[in-house]
């Protein structure tokens, strides 16, 4: 039981670093993509958060990004191995095209996450740990506090730019 808990914590940290780095690499916090993301970003910044972090949270909500790619890739590896991860990447690309988005971040995130999870399964992790870890990671980004999470993302964004 304790060993399983430790694996989930390690998987949470891996998934958190993975999707945050991919989202920042594709310049998601630079501007709000669609008008809904823009509205969410300005609402968060009005409540005392950071502006770029708010735009990035709005982009995560309004279109399937690298976070959704990581989650669905973990589900695909859990169900059907590496071909399941590839199929998840295709599904994320279709979903991105429906939502009027470019779809680079989601697809590349799903592909990279597939290979990272397949590599970690060789060490001794299980794919179900990554599903739980991904849900915990998205809970820490969006669920706990808007202002602190957006300030953290804004800090990372200014460090990159």
Partner 1 sequence: MSIALYGAARTVLEKETLLKLPFVNVMNFGIAGLIVFILPHPLTLVAAAAYFVGSTLEANAIASAIARRKQE
Instruction: Identify residues 25-44 at the interface with partner 1 (CB under 8 A).
Output: 34-40, 43-44
Question: DSSP characters for 76-127?
Answer: HHHHHHHHHHHHHHHHHHHHHHHTT---HHHHHHHHHHHHHHHHHHHHT--H
- Per-residue string for binding with partner 1, 44-83, x by CB under 8 A? x--x---------xx-xxxxx--xx--xx--xx-xxx---
95 scored as a contact of partner 1 (CB under 8 A): yes
Nearer to partner 1, 25 or 34 (CB): 34
Q: How far apart are CA 60 and CA 77, in angstroms?
A: 22
136 scored as a contact of partner 1 (CB under 8 A): yes
- Answer for which of 53, 84, 103, 109 binds partner 1 (CB under 8 A) is 84
11 scored as a contact of partner 1 (CB under 8 A): no
What is the torsion angle, in degrees rounded to the nearest 10, for the CA atoms of residue 15, residue 58, residue 157 and residue 9? -20
- Answer for which of 10, 86, 87, 118 binds partner 1 (CB under 8 A) is 87
Helix and strand tally (H, E) in the chain?
A: 7, 0
Give the footprint of partner 1 on this chain (CB under 8 A): 4, 8, 34-40, 43-44, 47, 57-58, 60-64, 67-68, 71-72, 75-76, 78-80, 84, 87-88, 91-92, 94-95, 98-99, 128, 131-132, 134-136, 138-139, 142-144, 146
């Amino acid at each position: 039981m304790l060993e399983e808990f430790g694996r989930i914590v390690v998987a949470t940290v891996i998934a958190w670093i993975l999707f945050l780095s991919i989202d920042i690499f594709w310049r998601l916090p630079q501007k709000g993509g669609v008008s809904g993301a823009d509205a969410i970003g300005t609402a968060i910044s009005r409540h005392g958060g950071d502006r770029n972090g708010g735009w990035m949270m709005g982009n995560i909500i309004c279109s399937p990004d690298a976070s959704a790619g990581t989650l669905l890739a973990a589900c695909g590896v859990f169900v059907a191995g590496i071909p399941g991860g590839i199929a998840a990447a295709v599904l994320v690309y279709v979903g991105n095209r429906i939502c009027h988005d470019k779809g680079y971040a989601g697809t590349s995130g799903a592909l990279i996450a597939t290979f990272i999870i397949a590599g970690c399964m060789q060490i001794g992790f299980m794919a179900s740990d990554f599903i739980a870890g991904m849900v915990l990671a998205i809970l820490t980004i969006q669920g706990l506090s808007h202002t602190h999470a957006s300030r953290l993302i804004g800090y990372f964004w200014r460090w990159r730019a």
